[in-house]
Chain A
Amino acid sequence: QSALTQPPSASGSPGQSVTISCTGTSTDVGGYNYVSWYQQHPGKAPKLMIYEVSKRPSGVPDRFSGSKSGNTASLTVSGLQAEDEADYYCSSYAGSNSLGFGGGTKLTVL
């Protein structure tokens, strides 16, 4: 079972870009292209924003993008909007049909 590391907080002004990192190991993030990102507003269920590192589900704005380098995956939100303020969680396949989540990053739009 993996524990992925995310910064507890991130922030940016409207219109700016912000990048949130998700660091794992070679047995999870670095070993597979199966990283997902979820957005969660207070009191709501998580919403899938990115899957398989960089794919966007239908309906997710192209302001959200994902990438990966080595054992670290990243979520970039461009053109920040007030409604982007939320908690963001990464997850990664960790082998043996198991899944791990990051601790979450609270994104504040200043």
Chain B
Amino acid sequence: QLQLQESGPGLVKPSETLSLTCTVSGGSISSSSYYWGWIRQPPGKGLEWIGNFFYSGSTNYNPSLKSRATISLDTSKNELSLKLSSVTAADTAVYYCASNTLMAEATFDYWGQGTLVTVSS
């Protein structure tokens, strides 16, 4: 049973870089059977896809983030990370990491519990 746990600062200042980590247990983050993603949810609002990281090492991002997002893997720590630069108040949200273990397209069957990040000075 895969388990995902997000961690990182709960408060980030405007214009700075948001950095989050997702620790994976119960499976290997370098498995060719999985891919990984980040999704966020502003308070009281809907879900927004941020991006994916595939086994091949390729990444895809939501164009609306205008190249501010970077997703990477640390296989030695079994961790997925997200960096979002030049944050504003609009980036305040609960950030979820998620994985696809179903060998299916465009879906996430395991999710972390989420971590709230507030952007404020």
| Chain A residues in the interface with B (C-beta under 8 A) | 1, 32, 34, 36, 38, 44-48, 51-52, 55, 57, 89, 91-93, 96-104
In the bound complex, do residue A101 and residue B107 qualify as a contact, i.e. CB atoms below 8 Å apart?
no
| Chain B residues in the interface with A (C-beta under 8 A) | 37, 39, 46-49, 52, 60, 62-64, 96, 102, 104-109, 111-114
Can you list 28 A-B contacts (CB < 8 A)? Answer: A1-B64, A32-B105, A34-B105, A36-B107, A45-B96, A45-B111, A45-B114, A46-B39, A48-B107, A48-B108, A52-B104, A52-B105, A52-B107, A55-B104, A57-B102, A89-B46, A89-B47, A91-B107, A92-B106, A93-B105, A98-B49, A98-B60, A99-B52, A99-B106, A101-B39, A101-B47, A103-B46, A104-B47
Closest 5 CB pairs of A and B: A93-B106, A97-B60, A51-B107, A45-B111, A34-B106
Bound CA span A98–B63, Å:
9
Bound CA span A56–B108, Å:
13
Q: Which residues of B contact A99 (CB under 8 A)?
A: 37, 49, 52, 106
Determine the residue in chain A with the shortest Cβ distance to B4.
A45
Q: Which residues of A contact B63 (CB under 8 A)?
A: 1, 98
In the bound complex, do residue B113 and residue A45 qualify as a contact, i.e. CB atoms below 8 Å apart?
yes
Q: Which of A48, A57, A96, A102 contacts B60 (CB 8 A)?
A: A96
Distance from A45 Cβ to chain B, minimum over Cβ atoms (Å): 4
Known: A46-B111, A91-B106. A100 touches B60 (CB 8 A): no
Distance from A104 Cβ to chain B, minimum over Cβ atoms (Å): 4
Known: A1-B64, A45-B113, A46-B111. A51 touches B104 (CB 8 A): yes
Q: Which residues of B contact A48 (CB under 8 A)?
A: 107-109
In the bound complex, do residue A97 and residue B104 qualify as a contact, i.e. CB atoms below 8 Å apart?
no
In the bound complex, do residue A45 and residue B112 qualify as a contact, i.e. CB atoms below 8 Å apart?
yes
Bound CA span A103–B62, Å:
16
Known: A36-B107, A51-B102, A51-B109. A46 touches B62 (CB 8 A): no
Q: Which residues of A contact B96 (CB under 8 A)?
A: 45-46
In the bound complex, do residue B49 and residue A100 qualify as a contact, i.e. CB atoms below 8 Å apart?
yes
In the bound complex, do residue B49 and residue A101 qualify as a contact, i.e. CB atoms below 8 Å apart?
yes
Known: A36-B106, A47-B111, A91-B106. A101 touches B48 (CB 8 A): yes
